[in-house]
């Protein structure tokens, strides 16, 4: 994969040049996001050197254009009732900054993704939806889902702060029989506040985390 051969600087350039921001007037805070990307790898780190040394490097970082195919594949595997994964991921990814995607990348191979979206306009007090999270079935149960939530949320919050906004609540909905509820309770403190009967493929629970980053939002 192209990114594999690049150092952090190359990744940052790749992120900037592949960002959906290039389709519209580029959002000013792309520089901030690339700083976050550098932060994910460490400012002085050299990813190729770490890989040559046989190190496994797993980071939670913004989704880059070269990740789209792998993430679409993970989406298709983890949400089998949903169709046209590539189109779904790509059109949402292009809706930055309303929608923000992060991947768990192990040696630059995406193993999982998380999709956050701001609800009901760009408000000062933001209700953020954890819209989807998926980890490749071969890598589930390794704590990647937990890392995706815990390490991407502060990056979104940082972005909100940069425009003078604050995180108010995190909203997440899932099938009433999905054990992911435990993950949301553990990582976010989310609780079920409503159940919607027969919404998509079954009953859907609406969970709200009213203090998702204790001491940090
Ligand atoms: C939910 C999911 C992202 C968790 O990723 P993960 O990397 O396995 O998560 P972790 O290893 O950090 O934690 C595993 C926890 O997720 C729970 N979980 C939820 N759905 C699960 C699934 N389909 N398979 C395995 N574990 C699942 C486990 O019960 C476990 O919680 P526990 O420790 O309290 O028992 C992953 O299982 C997945 O992609 N599921 C299919 C897509 C999905 O249902 N997404 C949520 C709805 S948007």
Any idea where the domains of the chain sit in the sequence?
2-209
Lowest mean pLDDT among 6-20, 103-117, 142-156: 6-20
pLDDT at 7: 42
Q: Tell me: the pLDDT tens digits for 158-212? A: 999 999 999 999 999 999 999 999 999 999 999 999 999 999 999 999 999 998 9
Q: How far is the CA of 70 from the centre of ligand 1 (A)?
A: 19
DSSP 8-state code for residue 203 = -
Q: How far is the CA of 144 from the centre of ligand 1 (A)?
A: 9
pLDDT at 42: 57
pLDDT at 108: 86
Token digits for 211? 């203090």
Residue bearing the CA closest to ligand 1, atom 14:
141
Residue bearing the CA closest to ligand 1, atom 43:
134
Nearest Cα neighbor of 61 from 120, 92, 24, 102 is 102
User: Does the beta carbon of 212 lie inside 6 Å of ligand 1?
Assistant: no
Residue bearing the CA closest to ligand 1, atom 48:
132
d(CA 54, CA 198): 49
User: Does the beta carbon of 137 lie inside 6 Å of ligand 1?
Assistant: no
Q: Which atom of ligand 1 is nearest to the CA of 131?
A: 48
Q: How far is the CA of 136 from the centre of ligand 1 (A)?
A: 10
Instruction: Tell me the fold of 2-209.
Output: Aminopeptidase (3.40.630)
Greater model confidence, 38 or 94: 94
d(CA 121, CA 105): 30
Number of H helices, E strands in the chain: 7, 7
d(CA 62, CA 78): 20
Unique residue bearing structure tokens 């679409």? 72
User: Does the beta carbon of 43 lie inside 6 Å of ligand 1?
Assistant: no
pLDDT at 1: 36
Residue 43: band (very low, low, confident or very high) from pLDDT cuts 50, 70, 90: low
pLDDT greater than 50 at residue 116: yes
Report the DSSP pairing between strands 125-135 and 191-196.
unpaired
Q: How far is the CA of 182 from the centre of ligand 1 (A)?
A: 8
d(CA 50, CA 28): 31
Q: How far is the CA of 183 from the centre of ligand 1 (A)?
A: 7
Percent of the chain whose predicted confidence (pLDDT) is above 70: 76
Mean pLDDT estimate for the chain: 83
pLDDT at 120: 97
pTM over 0.85: no
Q: How far is CA 143 from CA 58, 139, 187, in A?
A: 12, 9, 11
User: Does the beta carbon of 206 lie inside 6 Å of ligand 1?
Assistant: no
pLDDT greater than 80 at residue 20: no
SS (H, E, C) 53-118: CCCCCEEEEECCHHHHHHHHHHHHHHCCCCCCHHHHHHHHHCCCCCEEEEEEEECCEEEEEEEEEE
Token digits for 4? 């594999």
Nearest Cα neighbor of 6 from 152, 22, 16, 155 is 16
């Amino acid at each position: 994969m192209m990114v594999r051969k690049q150092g952090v600087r190359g990744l940052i350039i790749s992120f900037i040049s592949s960002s959906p921001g290039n389709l519209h007037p580029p959002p000013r805070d792309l520089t901030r996001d690339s700083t976050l990307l550098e932060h994910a790898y460490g400012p002085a780190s050299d990813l190729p050197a770490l890989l040559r040394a046989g190190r496994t490097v797993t980071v939670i970082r913004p989704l880059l254009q070269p990740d789209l195919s792998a993430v679409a594949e993970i989406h298709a595997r983890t949400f089998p009732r949903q169709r046209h994964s590539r189109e779904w991921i790509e059109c949402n990814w292009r809706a930055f900054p309303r929608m923000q995607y992060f991947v768990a990348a192990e040696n630059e191979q995406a193993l999982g993704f998380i999709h956050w979206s701001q609800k009901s306009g760009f408000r000062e007090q933001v209700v953020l939806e954890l819209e989807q999270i998926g980890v490749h079935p071969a890598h589930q149960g390794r704590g990647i889902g937990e890392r995706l939530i815990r390490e991407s949320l502060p990056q979104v919050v940082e972005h909100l702060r940069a425009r003078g906004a604050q995180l108010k609540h995190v909203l997440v909905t899932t099938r009433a029989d999905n054990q992911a509820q435990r993950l949301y309770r553990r990582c976010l403190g989310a609780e079920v506040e409503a159940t919607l009967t027969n919404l998509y493929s079954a009953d859907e629970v609406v969970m709200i985390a009213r203090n998702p980053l204790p001491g940090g939002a």
